[in-house]
Amino acid sequence: MRGALFSAAAMLAPGPALACALELILAVDVSGSVDGSEYALQTEGLAAAFETEVLAEAIGNLDGPVMVTLTQWSGLSRQRQVIGWRRLDMPDTLLAFAAEVRAVPRAFRNYSTAIGEALSHASGVSADNPLTCARRVIDVSGDGVSNEGRDPRGLADGLAARGYVVNAIVIRGADPDPYPYYRDEVIAGDGAFVETAEGFEDYPEAILRKLLREIDPPLLVGWERVRLRTTRGPAAGDRYAGRSRA
């Protein structure tokens, strides 16, 4: 079945099967515009995405593992790698990462929004990845425009020139709408895109949709077709670890 996670033969095979397929830096906005309940929704949505069978299948369809890390960012000098580099290949590694996401404390509160500095920090974090990956993606999530620090456009273009893709997930609801800003000033690289959540309540489904689009676009198409035929939310079902289906 398509989506079986790294058979024993593939795990033992030399060469490209053991290469890192994707480097994924999840850069999460924890600036002052994100209150406690919104932070909880964001954290739970991200953790839940890594517990879904469909995301595990997407990773299993790659030619190697995913190396993932989580950063939190806010103002000018406030960026932190809160979960180090983790290798995702088998279901238990995804579940372990999800548990870490749920447990990680919030690094900053009540500060400005410095998207350019978040990108610069992500570049430094990438340099510490112990594996060389075929693709390198920086995912920036945010609910407002940058109001401090360097202009993200120049930094994003510089990253794209070095082979990175900078994608974004925008949580709408602020005035002005942050979507045009992220579209025009933040994303960069081949196939870069902005995913939207129509508020923090919509974030869990939006983050899963974005991750599938980055990892396995054909699988995303199939998943969305199934979603049209069911009212089951991605955070409620299709989980590992013995969780019941909705």
- Residue with the bigger pLDDT between 246 and 3: it is 3
Question: In terms of pLDDT, which residue wins out, 139 or 199?
Answer: 139
Strand partners, 71: 27, 81
Of 51 and 217, more confident: 51
The predicted-structure confidence for 127-174, as pLDDT tens digits, reads as follows 999 999 999 999 999 889 999 999 999 999 999 999 999 999 999 988
pTM recorded for the entire structure: 0.84
Helix (H, G, I), strand (E, B) or coil at 66: strand
| DSSP class of 234 | T
Contact in structure between 170 and 144 (CB atoms under 8 Å):
no
Quick: pLDDT tens for 74-129: 999 999 999 999 999 999 999 999 999 999 999 998 789 999 999 999 999 999 99
Q: Where are the domains of the chain?
A: 19-228
What are the structure tokens assigned to 197, written together? 């959540």
Q: Tell me the residue type at 39.
A: Y
Rounded mean pLDDT of 218-244? 51
CB 146 within 8 A of CB 152: yes
| pLDDT of the residue at 1 | 38
By DSSP bridging, strand 66-73 and strand 79-88 are antiparallel
Give the residue with greater pLDDT, 91 vs 218. 91
Q: What is the pLDDT of residue 237?
A: 36
Q: In terms of CATH, what superfamily is 19-228?
A: von Willebrand factor, type A domain (3.40.50.410)
Phi, psi of 114 (to 5 degrees): -125, 85
Q: What is the pLDDT of residues 37-72, one digit of tens each?
A: 888 889 999 999 999 999 999 999 999 999 999 999
Q: Kindly tell me if the per-residue pLDDT of 231 is higher than 80.
A: no
Q: How far, in Å, CA of 154 to CA of 205, rounded?
A: 30
Which pLDDT belongs to residue 7? Answer: 38
CB under 8 Å to 215, separation ≥6 — which residues? Answer: 22, 55, 58, 59, 61, 62, 66
Gap between the Cα atoms of 214 and 220, Å rounded:
9
Residue 148: how many CB atoms within 10 A of its CB? 17
Q: What is the per-residue pLDDT for 217? A: 86
Q: How far apart are CA 213 and CA 195, in angstroms?
A: 9
Distance of CA 207 to the CA centre of its chain: 7
Residue pointed to by tokens 């406690």: 36
- The DSSP secondary-structure symbol of 239 reads B
Residue 201: what pLDDT?
Answer: 86
